[in-house]
Amino acid sequence: MSAQPGWTPAARPGIIPLHPLTFGAVLGRSFQALRHNPKVLLGFALGVQSLVFILLIVGIAGVGWLSFSRLDTLTPGTDEWDAVTAGSVLVTALAGLVLGLLASALQVIVQAVVVGEVAHAVVAEKLTLGALWRQVRPSLWRLLGYTFLVLLAVVLFVAAVGGVIFAVGAAAGPVLAVVLTILVFLGAIPLYLWLSTKLLLAPSAIILERASVRGAIARSWRLTRRRFWPILGVIVVISLLFGVIAQFVQIPFSLLSSGFLTVFAPTGEPGAEAVIGFVVAILLGNIVVLLVQAVALVVQATASVLLYVDCRMRHEGLDIDLLTYVERRDAGAPTLEDPWAVHPGRPAPVRAPAYGPAYGAPAQPPYGYAQPPYGYPMPPGAQAPYGYAPQPPATPPPPVPPAATQWTAPGAGSADREPPPA
């Protein structure tokens, strides 16, 4: 029977290498994640975005038509006509607010499913939409509560600032109010970027760690320390990229819709053909923009999960737990702990120094650790696993000097020898 250890296949690779990520890796893998499970990520997101679009258009248009159609039975300029107009505007605005909140709730569901899918893709697992829904459903209400809490804080802030500006304008004139509005808007941009960056990881903590709303906010605030600028850079690059793409795909359809009116109605009186062409061009443009928005929603949510994974690797050594989970799973372990919730908040082990002669250190794998996982020593002659610095060989004991021997030089002890013959 051979004394050599048995051969085991290499662990299946996920969508990211299990070590801290660079800026380019986070940005690139956020797009590559779409290919891992496109039916769940892109298909589900596109379906929800389409439902949100139809709900907003049909709901607001229907409420507006039902409320404003009463004006046809009234005489313009009367008190009753003014009252019905004000009431119709208020009802339509409230309907838009309620439907907007419902649309936000549906997008939160997409974000929750994306978080669960990306977490499984990191460890090379692919689940169906039903399995993902069963996993994220217990944490969904906390995620909805966190989202509405953020929306409420934004609404209260805007209302308070708007009230102050209105009071200043009423007391000092409209010019000062306009100047104050511009200054507040310019000051709100860095405030929004700072808060959105510090709170970006809270949804991932709610879904993967099953944290409370308060605990998730604290976790996101703590994990983003010393990682603020890379996280902000990823958010800004993805937002600008999809904003530019949406504008580029919308411009041709806008030109096409205006061209229909110019070609079919040169005198300014559009017929049925021009109206139909105009509507078709607008719908096609909105459908393309809807597809871009669905992809943007998935990519932004994927990037936030990868940033969460990267921050936990750097702060808490999450890659150790993920590597252990993958190795035990591929080895056929009967029971496995959730790697995302097993050691939250644990201090990260000491990383090995940068490798290569340029750093004054010997060549060794990047992102390595000074010791094997969890401090267990390796047997003599064993090879360190990937991602860990090899242990230096044990210092051999000093050689034992040989025992002293009696040695007689030539010519010594001549008294004991017979004299030569004469």
Q: What distance in Å separates the CA atoms of residue 378 and residue 376, rounded to the nearest whole number? A: 7
- Backbone φ and ψ of 266, nearest 5°: -70, -20
Q: Which amino acid is at 168?
A: V
Cβ atoms of residues 308 and 124 within 8 Å: no
Q: What is the pLDDT along the chain (422 residues), one digit of tens a residue?
A: 444 445 555 556 688 888 888 888 898 888 888 888 888 888 888 888 788 778 777 887 777 777 777 767 767 767 777 777 777 778 777 877 777 777 778 888 888 999 999 999 998 888 888 889 999 999 999 999 999 899 889 889 888 988 888 888 888 778 888 888 889 889 889 999 999 999 999 999 999 999 999 999 999 999 998 899 999 999 999 989 888 887 787 777 666 666 655 555 555 555 555 555 566 666 776 777 778 888 888 899 999 999 999 999 998 888 888 988 888 888 888 888 888 887 777 776 665 554 444 444 444 444 444 444 444 445 555 454 444 455 555 566 677 666 555 555 555 554 545 555 55
Residue 131 is encoded by which pair of tokens? 């399995």
Helix, strand, coil percent values for the chain (each to nearest 5): 65, 0, 30
- Does the predicted TM-score (pTM) go above 0.85? no
For the residues of 119-137, what is the DSSP string, one character each? HHHHTT----HHHHHHHHH
Q: What distance in Å separates the CA atoms of residue 343 and residue 254, rounded to the nearest whole number? A: 53
